[in-house]
Amino acid sequence: MKKISVVLMAIALSATILMQTGCYGSFGLTKKVYEFNGSVGDKFLNTIVFWAFCIIPVYQVAGFLDVVIFNLLEFWTGSNPIAMNEGDIDIQKLTSGDKEYLVTTTRNNIHIEQTTGPMKGKSVDIIFRPEFN
C-alpha cells in the first residue's frame, strides 16, 4: 500500500509540474467537448453525458487529437485552430531553406501556401470539421 501511495504522489507531482510550465498546449478540442458537455442540461444530465463520453472514449479521442495534432500545431505556429474564436486570424511566414510559406490560421482551418521556391503558388488546406468528430 505504501508503494502505491508513493507512485500516486509521484504521478500527481509530475502532473502538477507539467501543468505549471504551460508548455504543453491549450487542449482546445478537449475544452470544446467539455464545454459542450456542460451545456447539455442540468447537473444530472451533464453527469450522464460525461460518463457516456468517458465510456465511448470521446474525451480520450479529443485528448489524443489535441496532443498529436492540435497542440503540436500550436507549438510550431503559435496558434491552435481549434482554440481560436470565430473571426480570429493568425498569419505567419515560415522559411525552410530557399522556400517560404504563408500560413493562415482561422478557426478550424489552416491554409498553407508556398510563396517562393519550385512549387510557388501551390497550397493546401487542413480543415477540422467538428460535425464529423
The pTM (predicted TM-score) of the whole model is 0.49
Helices and strands (DSSP H and E) totals, the chain: 5, 4
Tens-place pLDDT, residues 44-59? 888 898 999 888 888 8
Please give the pLDDT value at position 20. Answer: 45
Q: Is the pLDDT of residue 61 over 50?
A: yes
Band of pLDDT at residue 133, cut at 50, 70 and 90: low
Let me know: does 67 contact 60? Beta carbons within 8 Å: no
